[in-house]
Amino acid sequence: MNLTTLQRVKTRGLGSEQLNHAIIEGIRDKKGKNIVQLDLRRLDDAPADFFIICEGDSNTHIKAISDSIYKRVKDELNTMPSHTEGTTNARWVLMDYFNTIVHVFYPETRQFYDLEQLWSDARATEFAEL
């Protein structure tokens, strides 16, 4: 088994609630804004069980949020995303944890792609900023 396969097995073995909690706390640690969790489990064509979406005020803020998520999930749950993209420009960072995909957006980019509307059949949960 290679490292990616091991990560996939570990991530799939995690409880979604535990993983999502760590992700949301990682976002809150860096004051991420407008946090929404979309539960996609009822949808047949969904690419994951959950999307967690948030935004940051600048490229630096977005990078800090994604770094915080990475560190918290790695430290608490001993797992890493299978794939991360968008860190170069940091206007939309995507982190794939298999059953949960995290989207950290710049506000205008979030508005343009409007994932909440695209997946409007999903059950949405909003999280207050601390």
pLDDT, tens digit, 9 for 90 and up, residues 19-50: 999 999 999 999 999 999 999 999 999 999 99
> What are the tokens at 6?
């091991």
Cβ burial of 46 (10 Å; 0-12, 13-18, 19+) is middle
- Which domains are delineated in the chain? 33-120 (3.30.460.10)
How many percent of the chain have pLDDT more than 90? 81
Give the pairing of strands 123-127 and 33-39. Answer: antiparallel
Across the range 44-64, mean pLDDT stands at 96
Q: How far is CA 95 from CA 1, 63, 90, in A?
A: 22, 12, 12
Confidence of residue 89 (pLDDT cuts 50, 70, 90): confident
Across the range 10-24, mean pLDDT stands at 80
**In degrees rounded to 5, what are phi and psi of residue 118?**
-60, -40
Judge if pTM exceeds 0.85. yes
